[in-house]
Chain A
């Protein structure tokens, strides 16, 4: 129960912070308009950062798994089929 509460607390904070941050950031008086280039390109850079980080984590995990569980790994343990010789 506590772990789920903690999980949702973390989620709530991670969602609210960027919204509150930007809600107060924009000015709308004449001569003080948001620059769409800045907003869009910054979003692009942030999304690219997330994408490459997730990509690195996922592909790094897969590479580690493939390397660790290759048959020739000294730490490899025989499967039940190889141990008992039964297929």
Chain B
């Protein structure tokens, strides 16, 4: 029986493992950066219920259906629900976190662009899920 060289197979294994290691490390790194909440982030409690969002700031101010934040500051959302599963989504800032009753999920962001951005629910929660929306108002934080 002739002995055949298997360098081609080793190269194939090397390429596959390299690709998986690269993809894995890039994804792990992105998650590490995105999940690292700055220590000075202002906490905002987000409560979802059928079919609207309530926001409570650190100073006790409560907003319903809209949220006012400033540029240049970090905000940490503690997201929960009062009834069924919802999902808190600010599409333009890639903020997406499930609102689960009895549980607090955490997500943070630091807005950079002044303007109005839609907030929506991204987990089917009943008849008016499609219209469970809000508005994020980002104001200039330098003034």
Residues of B close to A23: CB separation below 8 A: 29
A22 on the B face (CB < 8 A): yes
Q: Are A50 and B19 in contact (CB under 8 A)?
A: yes
Residues of A close to B110: CB separation below 8 A: 33-35
Chain B interface size, under 10 / 10 to 19 / 20 to 34 / 35 or more: 20 to 34
A3 on the B face (CB < 8 A): yes
Give the residue of B7, B21, B30, B40 whose beta carbon is less than 8 angstroms from that of A43.
B30
The smallest beta-carbon distance between B139 and chain A, in angstroms, is: 15
A54 to B18, CA, bound (A): 13
**Total A residues in contact with B, Cβ cutoff 8 Å:** 29
Q: Are A18 and B25 in contact (CB under 8 A)?
A: yes
Q: Are B94 and A40 in contact (CB under 8 A)?
A: yes
The smallest beta-carbon distance between B75 and chain A, in angstroms, is: 10
Tell me whether A19 and B29 are in contact in the complex, defined as CB-CB below 8 angstroms, given that A3-B10, A30-B40 are known contacts: yes
Residues of B close to A54: CB separation below 8 A: 19
The smallest beta-carbon distance between B98 and chain A, in angstroms, is: 17
A3 to B14, CA, bound (A): 10
Tell me whether A18 and B10 are in contact in the complex, defined as CB-CB below 8 angstroms, given that A28-B38, A33-B74, A36-B34 are known contacts: no
The smallest beta-carbon distance between B138 and chain A, in angstroms, is: 13
Q: Are B14 and A7 in contact (CB under 8 A)?
A: yes
Tell me whether A43 and B26 are in contact in the complex, defined as CB-CB below 8 angstroms, given that A30-B72, A34-B33 are known contacts: yes
Give the residue of A11, A34, A43, A47 whose beta carbon is less than 8 angstroms from that of B14.
A11
11 A–B pairs (Cβ distance < 8 Å), ordered by A: A7-B13, A10-B18, A11-B14, A11-B17, A14-B18, A14-B21, A15-B22, A18-B22, A22-B29, A39-B33, A40-B94
B residues bordering A, Cβ < 8 Å? 7, 10, 13-14, 17-19, 21-23, 25-27, 29-30, 32-34, 36, 38, 40, 72-74, 92-95, 109-110, 112
